[in-house]
Chains A and B, each alone.
Chain A
Amino acid sequence: MILENYIILSASLFCIGLYGLMTSPNIIRAFMSLELVFNAINLNFIAFSNFMDGQEIKGQVISIFIIAIAAAEAAIGLALILTIYRNKNTTDTSTIDWLKW
Chain B
Amino acid sequence: MDFSPEIVLIFLEIFIIVTALGVVLTSKVLEAAFFLSGTLSGLAGIYILLNADFVAAAQIVVYVGAINVLIIFAIMLLQQQLNSNNNLNGIQQLVQPIIPISLFIVFVVIITNTNWPIQSTLATVETTQAIGKHLFTDYLLPFEVVSILLLLALIGAIIIARRDLVVENKKSIIYSPSQLSIESKD
A→B interface (CB under 8 Å): 2-9, 11-20, 22-26, 28-29, 31-33, 35-36, 39, 42-43, 46-47, 49-58, 60-61, 63-65, 67-76, 78-83, 85-87, 89-91, 94
Contact = CB atoms under 8 A, between A and B. Distances in A.
A61 B123 CA distance: 14
Interface string B97-129: 101110110011001100011110111110100
A19 B17 contact: no
B161 A26 contact: no
B96 A23 contact: yes
A75 B159 CA distance: 11
Contacts of A63: 52, 55
Given A11-B104, A25-B84, A26-B29, 4 more contacts: A42-B59, A46-B47, A61-B131, A74-B67
Main secondary structure of the interface of B (DSSP, over half): helix
A70 B64 CA distance: 12
Contacts of A79: 156-158, 160-161
A67 B96 contact: no
Contacts of A58: 134
Contacts of B143: 65
